[in-house]
């Protein structure tokens, strides 16, 4: 029987493979490290391709080291020619050349699903995408199964303010129509008691609203990475897009609830990706 976190699939001889193409977070809360945890925790096999090396922790981003494009290409070829990729999660791509390289490889390897988190800024306010790269990133949207912008990211593309349900729905509809892809706009930046997400299902031309009470916790580092990676994981396991989002949101909510017991870092701490593991199970 399938469980919500997908762990029953760990008993299978072949796991669905999800590859994250993103930047790093040495503190482990966000970026490719969070993706690997979320993909594994939701029952898929996690592979990774690093786009940039980022010096960050729960307090700030302090440095970004670019990687040669040839080295990124070597990583892509190594993964895609060896593993049966079931889904791709795209995170921090940083500049136009990386975006164009990734786009060319998506067209070349044609993975079944692509979940694109259009990372533009860290939770602590540092830019993670060069401003001149926004048009190139937008052009990548049409290659995605789903894009998952937060409100500031969506505003940067649609060029109007988003501050309530109506404007979120208008933005999701605009993005889906312009780029012919499904859109999940995350409402965590709203100041309301509830934290709604708006999902535009492009193939079915339908709007959906996911509602949730806002959780009181400072441990929110990497929530966007975690959600998009979990969605990719569930898509690779054969879930519909709507169900993949539903399961991923449930998983993230449990990660956030469990994070209240974590005391890691001096800033916005991480979520608890493996909340369901009982440490007693690891002892004889």
User: What is the pLDDT tens value at each position of the chain, 284 positions in all?
Assistant: 344 444 444 444 579 999 999 999 999 999 999 999 999 999 999 999 999 999 999 898 999 999 999 999 999 999 999 999 999 999 999 999 999 999 999 999 999 999 999 999 887 778 899 999 999 999 999 999 999 999 999 999 999 999 888 999 999 999 999 999 999 999 876 766 667 899 999 999 999 999 876 777 888 889 999 999 999 999 999 999 999 999 999 999 999 998 987 889 898 889 999 999 866 555 55
Catalytic residue check, 225? yes
Which is the catalytic residue, given 58, 145, 148, 220?
Answer: 220
Q: Is residue 58 part of a domain?
A: yes
Q: Is residue 252 part of a domain?
A: yes
Catalytic residue check, 124? no
Q: Is residue 11 part of a domain?
A: no
Distance, CA of 190 to chain centre: 19
Which is the catalytic residue, given 31, 91, 222, 269?
Answer: 222
Q: Is residue 10 part of a domain?
A: no
The number of folded domains in the chain is 1
- What is the reported pLDDT for 6? 46
Catalytic residue check, 220? yes
Which is the catalytic residue, given 145, 186, 187, 249?
Answer: 186
- What is the reported pLDDT for 5? 45
Cα dihedral sign, 22-276-44-47: positive
Q: Is residue 149 part of a domain?
A: yes
Which is the catalytic residue, given 42, 58, 223, 226?
Answer: 223
- What is the reported pLDDT for 195? 75
Q: Is residue 272 part of a domain?
A: no
For residue 127, give its domain range: 17-259
- What is the reported pLDDT for 187? 83
- What is the reported pLDDT for 250? 95
CATH for 100 = 3.40.1190.20
Tokens of 203: 């193939």
Which is the catalytic residue, given 31, 145, 225, 249?
Answer: 225
DSSP letters for 187-248:
-TTS-SSB--EEEEETTTTEEEEE--BPP--S--BTHHHHHHHHHHHHHHTT--HHHHHHHH
Q: Is residue 276 part of a domain?
A: no
Tokens of 223: 């929530």
Q: Is residue 279 part of a domain?
A: no
């Amino acid at each position: 029987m399938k469980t919500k976190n997908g762990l029953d699939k760990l008993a299978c001889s072949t796991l669905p493979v999800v590859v994250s193409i993103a930047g790093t977070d040495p503190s482990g809360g966000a970026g490719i490290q969070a993706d690997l945890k979320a993909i594994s925790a939701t029952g898929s096999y996690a592979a990774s391709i690093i786009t940039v090396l980022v010096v960050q922790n729960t307090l700030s981003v302090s440095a970004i080291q670019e990687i040669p494009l040839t080295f990124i290409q070597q990583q892509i070829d190594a993964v895609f020619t060896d593993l049966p990729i079931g889904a791709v999660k795209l995170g921090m791509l940083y500049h136009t050349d990386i975006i164009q390289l990734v786009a060319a490889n998506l067209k070349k390897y044609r993975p079944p699903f692509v979940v694109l988190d259009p990372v533009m800024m860290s939770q602590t306010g540092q830019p993670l995408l060069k401003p001149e790269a926004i048009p190139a990133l937008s052009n990548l949207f049409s290659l995605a199964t789903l894009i998952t912008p937060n409100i500031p990211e969506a505003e940067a593309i649609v060029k109007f303010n988003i501050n309530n349900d109506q404007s979120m729905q208008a933005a999701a509809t605009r993005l889906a129509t312009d780029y012919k892809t499904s859109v999940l706009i995350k409402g965590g930046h709203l100041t309301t008691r509830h934290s709604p997400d708006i999902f535009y299902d492009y193939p079915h031309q339908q709007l959906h609203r996911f509602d949730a009470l806002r959780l009181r916790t400072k441990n929110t580092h990497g929530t966007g990475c975690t959600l998009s990676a979990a969605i990719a994981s569930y898509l690779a396991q054969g879930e519909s897009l709507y169900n993949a989002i539903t399961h991923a949101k449930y998983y993230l909510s449990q990660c956030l609830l469990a994070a209240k017991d974590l005391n890691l870092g001096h800033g916005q701490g991480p979520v608890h990706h493996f909340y369901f593991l009982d440490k007693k199970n690891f002892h004889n």
